[in-house]
């Protein structure tokens, strides 16, 4: 019974994907088809990894059950030409072997926790350390390297995926069993919305985000230094040489970090600024002017002048990590068979601030039993 149901879905999937590729099945505002699932690969322990394809409002998304990875996100340029604007790999082996978090869900904690240590309610915790002496993006085996349970849905004019992962008490050193649910929705307008939710059975810290590497001219097409960016933030969090925030909320005015007015990403990136030296470029958290909000509010716009493709980000979160792809070093071959070099993409990760568990003045990342962690980020596309 189960097998035959899957066979029917697979056949529908094949038909749908073929039609979409031929450009004859652009979803209109009338609502999309149910997402379709195919086998993407198999992990060394035999676990199967699936890829889900969904399309709505002119946006096409491919998502892996491994890490909730956005393997491909296609949007049209001003002449209607589609390109995949998200860096990734063509096969599961590359994701397992060497992905710098391409397209992945990040947890339990986006960005760094100093020395992988924090104290909560008088108990000291030691996390998995995987970035020098610090813990980065959840430790050695974070949510980006876990296989999530994924289900496709349609709801009104929306299509989407619900991804579940249960992180055991003590996993990577974090206290409490964390039940995480992430919903990816493509709306009738082609927006990609991410709703994050989590509960715990012991006090813990949580900071979930998404690590898409954007290049709006198309992955593998060269550098993003000509992309134009604005960020609604008058302050950012300067870091030390290990990229841990000093605790200061410094003004962006008069620094290379001032994106309050739109400027090219590369405009000031070679200034002899100590903060840029630490990051080998931009790798910093912006303190969003709006703070934490109940509803997603617009905080950043990224535009590629050559194609016209434009990304607008709205979030409920108080911070944005802008990472200019500094550690891409020409050693990885991406999904389109091109080498990725420094500055070939950038990440805009909505989040709470790095190292918040050790910074009492930063907004809290503590989650307690009985509470539900909820954040939302919306990506809107136009050309
Ligand atoms: C961090 C970078 C890190 C990168 C990993 C970013 O979120 O801020 O420091 O190298 O993720 O690819």
Give the sign of the dihedral formed by CA 306, CA 184, CA 299, CA 343.
Answer: negative
Q: Rounded distance, CA 65 to CA 68, Å?
A: 5
Contact between 355 and 188 (Cβ < 8 Å): no
Q: Which of 1-5, 107-111, 343-347 has the lowest mean pLDDT?
A: 1-5
User: Percent of the chain at pLDDT above 90?
Assistant: 91
Q: Which residues line ligand 1 at a C-beta cut-off of 6 Å?
A: 100-101, 111, 243, 283, 321, 323, 327, 347, 349
Which ligand 1 atom is at minimum distance from the Cα of 349?
7
Residue nearest to atom 12 of ligand 1 (CA): 100
Q: What CATH number has the domain bearing residue 274?
A: 2.70.98.10
Q: How many angstroms is it from 271 CA to the middle of ligand 1?
A: 20
Full domain range(s) for residue 172: 3-382
Name the phi and psi angles at 145, rounded to 5.
-110, 15
CA distance linking residue 70 with residue 144, whole number of Å: 11
Question: Which band of pLDDT confidence, cut at 50, 70 and 90, is reported for residue 23?
Answer: very low
Total domain count, the chain = 1
Q: How far away, in angstroms, is 322 Cα from ligand 1 center?
A: 9
H/E stretch holding 20 reads helix 2-21
User: How many whole angstroms from 323 Cα to the centroid of ligand 1?
Assistant: 6
Tell me the catalytic residues.
Answer: 211, 349
Please tell me the distance from the alpha carbon of residue 165 to that of residue 158, in angstroms, as a whole number. 23
111 Cα–ligand 1 center, Å: 7
Q: For ligand 1, atom 5, which residue shows the shortest CA distance?
A: 100
Confidence of residue 31 (pLDDT cuts 50, 70, 90): low
Q: Per residue, what are the HEC states of 102-152?
A: CCEEECCECCEEHHHEEEECCEEEECCCCECCEEECCCCCCHHHCECEEEE
d(CA 114, CA 102): 23
Going by alpha carbons, the residue nearest to atom 7 of ligand 1 is 111
Q: What is the pLDDT of residue 15?
A: 34
Per-residue pLDDT reduced to its tens digit, 117-172: 999 999 999 999 999 999 999 999 999 999 999 999 999 999 999 999 999 999 99
């Amino acid at each position: 019974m189960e097998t035959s149901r899957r066979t029917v879905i697979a056949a529908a999937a094949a038909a749908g994907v073929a039609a979409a590729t031929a450009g004859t099945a652009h979803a209109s505002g009338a609502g999309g088809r149910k997402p379709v699932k195919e086998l993407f690969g198999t992990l060394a322990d035999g676990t199967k990894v699936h890829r889900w394809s969904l399309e709505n409002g002119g946006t096409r998304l491919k998502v892996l059950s491994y890490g909730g990875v956005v393997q491909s996100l296609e949007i049209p340029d001003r002449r209607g030409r589609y390109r995949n604007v998200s860096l990734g790999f063509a096969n599961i082996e590359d994701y397992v072997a060497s992905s710098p978090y391409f397209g992945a869900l990040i947890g339990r904690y986006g960005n760094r926790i100093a020395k992988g240590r924090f104290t909560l309610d008088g108990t000291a915790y030691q996390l998995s350390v995987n970035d020098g002496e610090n813990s980065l993006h959840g430790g050695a085996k974070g949510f980006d390297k876990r296989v999530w349970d994924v289900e496709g849905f349609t709801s009104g004019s929306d299509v989407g995926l619900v991804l579940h992962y249960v992180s055991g008490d003590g996993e990577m050193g974090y206290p409490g069993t964390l039940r995480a649910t992430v919903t990816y929705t493509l709306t009738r307008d082609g927006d990609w919305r991410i709703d994050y939710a989590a509960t715990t059975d012991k006090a813990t810290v949580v900071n979930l985000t998404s690590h898409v590497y954007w290049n709006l001219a198309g992955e593998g097409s060269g550098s993003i230094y000509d992309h134009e960016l604005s960020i609604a933030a008058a302050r950012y969090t300067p870091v030390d040489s290990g990229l841990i925030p000093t605790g200061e909320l410094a003004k962006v005015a008069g620094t290379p970090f001032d994106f309050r007015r739109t400027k090219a990403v590369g405009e000031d990136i070679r200034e002899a600024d100590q903060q840029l030296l630490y990051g080998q470029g931009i790798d910093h958290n912006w303190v969003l002017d709006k703070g934490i909000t109940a509803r997603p509010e617009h905080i950043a716009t990224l535009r590629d002048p050559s194609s016209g493709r434009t990304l607008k980000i709205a979030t409920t979160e108080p911070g944005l990590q802008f990472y200019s792809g500094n550690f891409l070093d020409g050693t990885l071959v991406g999904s389109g068979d091109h080498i990725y070099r420094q500055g070939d993409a950038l990440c805009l990760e909505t989040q709470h601030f790095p190292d918040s568990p050790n910074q009492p003045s930063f907004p809290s990342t503590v989650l307690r039993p009985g509470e539900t962690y909820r954040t939302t980020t919306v990506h809107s596309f136009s050309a």
